[in-house]
């Protein structure tokens, strides 16, 4: 049986060119980048070249890049780093639809005595910048709003929100993990002070990511040890993975426009085919601007996890939402915040496309969805009572 992957928002396969760059580095460079001998300096050169390439794509200075283990650490470093550096009780503004990496960090900050405002989006999943303005307080030190949602793909008005935050003297962080590589990640154009990216969302390996920290931003480290990453993140740098991340970032920039157009057409083809074949279904966030590869669709009368299993048996990998929340019995916090009922939120699936997907795969997936939904509804007592 052929198998096709439609869960790229959870993770992506490592691309051939990224793997080649990483393997070459592993074979040729084994020194510690902090060592002053030949081998250490060879590693240092590879590391700093990778940092310069990342900075070139992000539109910032190389010394503003902190290499970390991934998106979760980048988000944690941004939130804990900024708030704890204030050395006082502070106020933070975020949203109710953030990734668990941000929400869990905010809950921990609340346990430490800080105050957090969680803003809800509208029914399309978009946060109103004026809500941010209304939530600001004299002690607000940080606003954290994701650039694109991992479940719905809905894009937030980061530039407007950043301008409002700065007017009040607050810093602006954006989790760009699901947007970077699909949208422009120019941090200067976005107006952010801190910006998180993760390698495994853009065809690099897991375990590598970066946090952009605007020069002048005071950050308290959350990992302590040596003086690595300009005292912002202790630990021997992962040189080969940094090289791999730089290769992935360069490829993402090179293919950004063409791949966005291709994936957007495939995503729209998939949506139209499913909605044309399956009654009582709809797109969550479909009226908002979205990243081109993502659609989140509800199917009344169906349990989302049952549909995921049915599609997996048919050879298609999809998901009910965030991979970091798999196994949760509660409905999606993102869809609930958008106003969906618990039943409809549990009946929603995320389809996230990537480089390997084709028109033929999309058409086959739409057919499999139609058949699987019909079969599951056929054995659903609740659906039978509704029709």
Q: What is the pLDDT of residues 281-292, one digit of tens each?
A: 999 999 999 999
> Which pLDDT score, from 0 to 100, does residue 379 have?
86
Question: Do the domains 16-251 and 4-11+255-386 match in fold?
Answer: no
Q: pLDDT tens-digit profile of 141-169?
A: 999 999 999 999 999 999 999 999 999 99
> Which pLDDT score, from 0 to 100, does residue 142 have?
98
- pTM strictly above 0.75: yes
> Which pLDDT score, from 0 to 100, does residue 321 have?
76
User: How many Å apart are CA 286 and CA 351, to the nearest integer?
Assistant: 13
Which helix (H) or strand (E) element contains residue 119? Answer: strand 115-119
> Which pLDDT score, from 0 to 100, does residue 80 have?
98
CA 190 to each of CA 49, 124, 159, 307: distance values in angstroms, whole numbers, following the listed order: 24, 22, 5, 38
> Which pLDDT score, from 0 to 100, does residue 103 have?
98
Task: Let me know: does 24 contact 151? Beta carbons within 8 Å.
Answer: no
CATH class of 4-11+255-386: alpha beta
In the chain, which stretches have pLDDT less than 70? 322-329, 381, 384-387
> Which pLDDT score, from 0 to 100, does residue 386 have?
63
Mean predicted lDDT score pLDDT of the chain: 96
Q: Which residues are catalytic?
A: 324
Residue with tokens 């993770």: 11
Residues in the chain: 387
> Which pLDDT score, from 0 to 100, does residue 330 have?
86
> Which pLDDT score, from 0 to 100, does residue 324 have?
57
**In this structure, is the dihedral angle defined by the CA atoms of residues 114, 115, 120 and 121, taken in order, positive or negative?**
negative
User: How many Å apart are CA 141 and CA 359, to the nearest integer?
Assistant: 47
> Which pLDDT score, from 0 to 100, does residue 387 have?
60
Provide the residue ranges of all domains of the chain, joining segments of one domain with +: 4-11+255-386, 16-251
What residues have CB less than 8 Å from 278, skipping those under 6 apart?
Answer: 299, 369, 370, 373, 374
Domain spanning 16-251: CATH 3.40.50.1220: no
């Amino acid at each position: 049986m052929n198998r096709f992957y439609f869960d790229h928002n959870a993770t992506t396969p490592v691309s051939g060119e990224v793997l080649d760059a990483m393997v070459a580095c592993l074979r040729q460079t084994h020194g510690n980048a902090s060592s002053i001998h030949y081998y250490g300096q060879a590693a240092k050169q590879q590391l700093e070249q990778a940092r310069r390439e990342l900075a070139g794509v992000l539109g910032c200075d190389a010394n503003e890049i902190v290499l970390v283990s991934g998106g979760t650490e980048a988000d944690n470093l941004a939130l804990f780093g900024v708030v704890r550096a204030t050395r006082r009780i502070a106020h933070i503004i975020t949203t109710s639809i953030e990734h668990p990496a941000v929400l869990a960090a905010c809950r921990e900050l609340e346990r430490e005595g800080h105050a957090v405002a969680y803003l809800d989006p509208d029914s399309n999943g978009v946060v109103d910048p004026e809500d941010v303005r209304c939530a600001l307080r004299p002690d607000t030190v940080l606003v954290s709003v994701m650039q694109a949602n991992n479940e719905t793909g809905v894009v937030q008005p980061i530039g407007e929100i950043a301008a409002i935050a700065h007017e009040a003297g607050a810093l602006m962080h954006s989790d760009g993990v699901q947007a970077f590589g699909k949208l422009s990640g120019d941090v200067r154009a976005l107006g952010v002070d801190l910006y998180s990216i993760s390698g495994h969302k853009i065809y690099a390996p897991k375990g590598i990511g970066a946090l952009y920290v605007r020069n002048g931003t005071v950050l308290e480290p959350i990992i302590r040890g040596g003086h690595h990453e300009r005292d912002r993140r202790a630990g021997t740098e992962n040189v080969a993975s940094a090289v791999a991340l730089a290769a992935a970032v360069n490829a993402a920039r090179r293919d950004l426009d063409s791949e966005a157009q291709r994936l957007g057409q495939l995503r729209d083809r998939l949506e139209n085919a499913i909605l044309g074949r399956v009654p009582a279904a709809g797109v969550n966030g479909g009226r908002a601007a979205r990243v081109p590869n993502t659609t989140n669709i509800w199917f009344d009368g169906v349990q989302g996890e049952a549909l995921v299993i049915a599609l997996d048996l048919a050879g298609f990998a999809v998901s009910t939402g965030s991979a970091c929340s798999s196994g949760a019995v509660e409905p999606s916090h993102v869809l609930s915040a958008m106003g969906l009922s618990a039943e409809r939120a549990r009946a929603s699936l995320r389809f996230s496309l990537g480089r390997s997907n084709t028109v033929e795969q999309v058409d086959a997936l739409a057919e499999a969805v139609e058949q699987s939904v019909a079969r599951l509804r056929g054995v659903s007592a609740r659906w039978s009572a509704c029709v």
